Structure 1
Amino acid sequence: MEPAGGTTGAAATAAATAAAAGTVAATAGKPPPPSSGPDRGALRRTGLLVTLLLGGLTATPPLAMDMYLPSLPEVTGSLHAPATTVQLTLTACLAGMALGQLVVGPMSDRWGRRRPLLAGLAVYIVATALCALAPTVEFLIAFRLLQGLAGAAGIVIARAVVRDLYDGVAMARFFSTLMLISGVAPIVAPLIGGQILRVTDWRGVFVLLIFLGLALTALVWWRLPETLAPAERHKGGVGEALRAMRGLLADRVFTGYTLAGGFAFAALFAYISASPFVIQEIYGASPQTFSLLFGVNSIGLVIAGQINGKVLVGRVGLDRVLATGLTIITLAAVALLLMATGTFGEVGLWPMAAGLFVLMTAMGITLPNTQALALMRVRHAAGSASALLGTSTFLIGAIASPLVGIAGEDTAVPMAVVQLAAVLVAVACFVALCRPWTTRAAENLGEER
């Protein structure tokens, strides 16, 4: 089956990252309060506007990925390209988001939040327009890479702005609300994309994304002031950022949680990469049915994430919830592989959809906690740590994308194999590097746990 390497990945990760940061705030103690600047107090008082604006920033890359998913089979015909090549349009965007976070995170620590964000949005709009005009699949791949690079600014800087404005319980509450908003993206984006295909072709998706980007840029320009005071900025440039990242990677536990989250995301990304072809080509569903199933799965992930942040982590503990999530994902991946190989006989759409729903929902209690536990290791250089987490997650997901197309378009076996292999590696990283049975309580921020 030849996939389309797209993402709830992106969407799910946006939601999961928000949940992760919220969990950190709720369980890791209070970080040092940010120094107050002339704009921070006023910005805090406009809570709804700030929430909607930052939610829009974190949702922009998922919208760019997920709104495009229903049109993938159409792109193969329009640009006369095989599915294995068309899937690279999504892999390129994902890789761009990975690399972009690695660059923009340290940039925002050095030059402030506002200028890199506006520059990223401007490039994002131009890249999206070029995608709409792409004459060949090769041009579309290149433009999608640029779109991902620019769109990464919204993910990284939105998290950094929240860190600038809030701490403690206030930050936890803000992130819980932000997750609900950013989590809407993977639900509505495929639905919108499917409806666009009723009235126009796949290029119309990018036209709508242009207008959304313009609206978001206008709101940032008029309503989002600088939140990082000059005195708080890092002056060391690239060298300091690289040293900070090297120190983070030397932390065995941080690296373990980062890799566990990255490979869990790869299992999720394998589903998203393959799902347009599995659901529409193998099981004969319409783009609208695919969009509906995609949205239902995303709702499961968002609800699980809310239960995780509001109930489970406080009563059960992050490591135990994470272990439970990885176990459920493993069992779901085994069931999907057995169905794909015909062990249970020929199965229809709905048993396969049920297995995918369980896998997606379990991601809601897995991805947030891997990132929360990793971020709890960090006292300083939060921007660089956030960028490193995002980059590793997206890169591992991008590597998984081509693997699900190995056996062609008429089988779901590669998707199931990649999912199971990825989650088994995630479990191995969790057990071998994080060693949760040796850790102290999660509240001991930054200590060897």
Structure 2
Amino acid sequence: MKQKQQAITILILGSLSTISPFSIDMYLPGFPAIAKDLSTSIANVQLSLTSYFIGIAGGQLLYGPLLDKFGRKLPLYTGLAVYIIASLACALTASVESLITMRLFQALGGCAGMVAAQTLVRDLFPVQRTANVFSWMTLVVAVSPMIAPTVGGFITTSFGWHAVFITLALVALVILLLSYFVLEDGRKGDKTMSLKPKPVINNFISVIKEKQFLIYCVTGGLATSAPFAYIAGSSDVFINFYHTTEQEYGWIFAIIGGVMIGCTQLNHILLRRFKSEQVVNGALIFQTIVGIVLITGTFFNWWDKIGLIAMIALFVSPNGVINANTTALSLAPFVKNAGSAASLVGALRMTMGGITTALVSAFHNGTPTPMVIIMFMTVIGGLIVLKTGKIIIKYRAKDRTEESVII
């Protein structure tokens, strides 16, 4: 694949991965207008966000087997078509119940892009290059939470909240056309695969039994839950505890997001000297050290607003690097079951992220302490899984060697 074609391919794959982040963030500024038009509360409108998260987590498990059986393109086209129809239905909805339902279908369609993009990276690029490719895709994806609320706010103010969902449908249509006319097909489907529940479950189990997948999938899922904890708690911490304005909070969100985006691109430099396994290990150790300082300073009230912003930015800065490398390492062992593996990676991360946000809410006490502790615990959990998994593999390999010598 030529360099120009590679760049176009990565851009399209990154765009496929941004469909769900845009769908989550772009309509947030319209919550008050939606609640007013549908004669309901903002709390009820927030349930449409919950239904979207449920759809993402469950839908990714659905697309894995479909991508493996029918190839990459047909399930992708089907998912994007469902997304477009559901988006238009959201724009035409007359009740909050209908909005909640259509958002679920929107998620079920949109998450096809997330799973297909990861699977196609494994298909179209050599294994040794996948970590770099995921870093470039992360750059595209990471921009979306920074611009989506701003774009959504402008559209809502200028044209009304219905126009947000029409815009999302049009964007998805453009991505669908690019995928059809420009994007390569990837691995062909295995028609012999069964979609009956038992074989599908057995297929997922065979993926989970791959030790490298399990170690790096869980490690990445835990470690990359830290930003979910930050997103869940940061608005309350900065607006209510540090008394910043909504506009100031928007800048804080953008600054920390910008640090994550910038540091993600360091992965290209790191991979010239180190293996992906070494990069993940080093990044987690760095986060652990910063996390200890962050928690200690929070407990003893060392940080003012600027200090906490700086420490959080420093703490989450390696998350893009960890995400890119753990995803690449999780998918590396697979060719035949790459779709199922990619769907498990995505579903596990969304589930862990959802649990993390729930924990931040459950332990909320009006201070930054619950947020930073849970951020730290996700990273420690990831480091423990990584170290423990490597020890287990090492000793099992040693036992097998000794057995072969005895024989």
Change (3 A) 1:296 1:75: farther
Given candidates 184, 191, 194, the residue that maps to 1:236 is 194
How far apart are 1:53 and its partner, in Å?
2.4
Amino acid at match of 2:386: F
- Report the AA paired with residue 279 of structure 2: V
Alignment of 1:253-402 (within 5 A): 253-308=212-267, 310-338=268-296, 341=299, 343-344=300-301, 347-378=303-334, 380-402=336-358
Which 5+ residue runs of structure 1 have no aligned equivalent? Answer: 1-40, 441-449
1:252–1:434 CA contact under 8 A, matched in 2: no
Matches within 5 A, 1:180-199: 180-196=139-155, 199=158
- Aligned residues of 2:72 and 2:116 also touching (Cα < 8 A): yes
State the partner residue of 2:386.
Answer: 430
Alpha-carbon deviation of 1:70?
A: 5.2
Amino acid at match of 2:309: A
Contact 2:86 2:105 (8 Å CA) reproduced: yes
1:212: how far off?
Answer: 1.6
1:65 aligns with one of 2, 7, 24: 24
Size of the aligned set, in residue pairs, is: 394
Alpha-carbon distance between aligned partners in 2 of 1:170 and 1:321, rounded to the nearest angstrom: 14
1:206-217 to 2 correspondences below 5 Å: 206-217=165-176
Answer whether contact 1:191 1:291 (CA < 8 A) is retained: no
**Residues of 2 paired with 1:90 and 1:241: CA distance?**
29
For 1:110 and 1:280, how far apart are their aligned partners in 2? 49
* Higher normalized helix content (fraction of residues): 2
CA distance in 1: counterparts of 2:97 and 2:311, whole angstroms: 35
Tell me the equivalent position of 2:405: none
Question: Which of 104, 108, 118 is the aligned partner of 2:63?
Answer: 104
- SS at the partner of 2:265? helix
Question: Are 1:121 and 2:80 an aligned pair?
Answer: yes
Aligned equivalent of 2:106: 147
SS across alignment from 2:225: helix
Q: Which moved more, 1:109-118 or 1:140-149?
A: 140-149
- CA shift in 2, pair 1:228/1:427, >3 Å: closer
Residue 266 of structure 1 contacts residue 419 of structure 1 at CA under 8 Å; is this kept in 2?
yes
Structure-2 change in CA distance of 1:75 and 1:375 (3 Å): same
Looking at structure 1, the residues matched to 31 and 207 of structure 2 have their Cα atoms a distance apart, in angstroms, of 38
Q: Is the 8 A contact 2:131 2:324 kept in 1?
A: no
Q: TM-score, structure 1 length as denominator?
A: 0.74
Asked if structure 1 preserves the Cα contact closer than 8 Å seen for 2:131 and 2:276, the reply is no
2:207 alignment counterpart: 248
Q: CA deviation at 1:154?
A: 0.4
Aligned-residue Cα RMSD (Å) equals 3.6
106-115 or 139-148: bigger deviation: 139-148
The Cα of 1:422 is off from its aligned counterpart by: 2.2
TM-score, normalised relative to structure 2: 0.81
User: 2 CA distance for matches of 1:139 and 1:277?
Assistant: 30
Cα distance in 2 for partners of 1:352, 1:197 equals 32
Q: Which residue of 1 aligns with 2:404?
A: none
Contact 1:257 1:434 in 2 (8 A): no
